[in-house]
Amino acid sequence: MRFSRRIALLLVIAITAVGFAAEKKAAVPSGNLVDSGSFGVFVHGKRVATETFQIEQMADMSVAKSEFKVEEGTTKAVQTAELVMAANGDLRRYTWNELSPNKAQTTIEPHDQFLVQHISTGSTDKPIDQPYILPTSTVILDDYFFSQREVLAWRYLGANCRPEPGSPGCKLQRVQFGALIPRQRTSLLVNIEYVGRETVNVHGQKRELSRFNLQSEGMDWGLWLDENYKLIRIYIAAEATEVVRD
C-alpha cells in the first residue's frame, strides 16, 4: 500500500522524535515536547487503568516517560517507565519501577554489545542480573505502556517509508522487529504493517485514521494513528481491551 507524500515528509519529524543519546547517570535536560497526554484502558467497556506519558526531544537525545495507574475497585497499582534510545534507535537505557502495591525496579542497558537487565524486588536480596543475547537495536515493548507502541510505529514509518521516483508517495512493507518485554523477562519477534485508512469511533465521534497491525505469536493488536502520527487507539480483540487517547 502507498503512503502519501505528506506522510513521507513528516516522517523526518517522527523518526527524530525517537532519537536518543544519553550518558549513563547523567541528568536528562528538558527539551521540546513531541507528544504527551494519557490513554484510558477499557476492558469490556469499563475503564480500569490510565497511562500518562510524555515524549521529549533534545538536540541529541529524547526521552519517553510514562506512569501507569490501575484503579479498579479495591485494586490499586502504580508503575513508571523511562525509555532512552540513541539517534539510530538503539537502546541506551530503560528503567521500570513498581511503586505500589509492591516495590520493584528493573533497568536494562547495553553491555558488551548486548543487553543486560538488572532486577531488584525491593527486598534486601542482591539484585539479579539477566543477560540477553540481543542487539541494542531491540525494541522495548513493556506490559501496560502503550506509548511505547507509538514509538515503534514511528520507528517503522521512519525506517521504511521512502518516496519512490515518479510516485506521489511511498510503499510500506510488513517489517519484523526484535522486541523485549522487561516485566516478563522475555524476548520475541513482532511484525508491524500499514493496513490503510479506516473510519473508527473515538469518544462517540467518527474519525478517519491510519491503521497498523502489530502481531506476534499469541498477539494481534490493531493500532490507529492520526494525521500527526499520534497514537489514538489500540484494540486487542482477544482480551476485549480498548486503549483510547483521552
Residue 9 pLDDT > 60: no
At 37-49, the pLDDT tens digits run 999 999 999 999 9
At 59-91, the pLDDT tens digits run 777 899 999 999 877 778 999 999 998 888 889
User: How far is the C-alpha of 66 from the C-alpha of 177, rounded, in Å?
Assistant: 22
Please say whether the dihedral angle defined by the alpha carbons of residues 17, 19, 25 and 31, taken in this order, is positive or negative.
Answer: negative
Residue 1 pLDDT > 60: no
| Mean local confidence (pLDDT), 179-207 | 96
User: How far is the C-alpha of 118 from the C-alpha of 105, rounded, in Å?
Assistant: 8
| Residues 6 or more apart in contact with residue 43 via CB below 8 angstroms | 239, 240, 241
At 138-155, the pLDDT tens digits run 999 999 999 999 999 999
| Mode of pairing for the β-strands spanning 139-140 and 175-181 | parallel
Q: Which residue has the higher pLDDT, 5 or 226?
A: 226
Q: Which residue has the higher pLDDT, 29 or 171?
A: 171
Q: Which residue has the higher pLDDT, 75 or 192?
A: 192
Name the burial class of residue 183, with classes exposed (0-12), middle (13-18) and buried (19+) by CB atoms within 10 angstroms of its CB: middle
| Residues 6 or more apart in contact with residue 96 via CB below 8 angstroms | 79, 80, 81, 105, 106, 107, 142, 182, 183
At 82-118, the pLDDT tens digits run 999 888 888 999 999 999 999 999 999 999 999 999 9
User: How much of the chain exceeds pLDDT 70, in percent?
Assistant: 84
The pLDDT assigned to 188 comes to: 96
Tell me the pLDDT of the chain averaged across its residues.
Answer: 86
The pLDDT assigned to 61 comes to: 76
Q: Which residue has the higher pLDDT, 20 or 224?
A: 224
Burial per residue of 112-123, b for 16 or more beta-carbon CB atoms within 10 angstroms, e otherwise? eeebebebeeee
In the three-class reduction of DSSP (H, G, I as helix; E, B as strand; rest coil), residue 89 is classed as coil
CB 20 within 8 A of CB 10: no
| Mean local confidence (pLDDT), 129-139 | 96
| Mean local confidence (pLDDT), 200-214 | 97
Q: Cell numbers of 7, please?
A: 506522510
Ordered alpha helix ranges (H), 99-244:
147-160
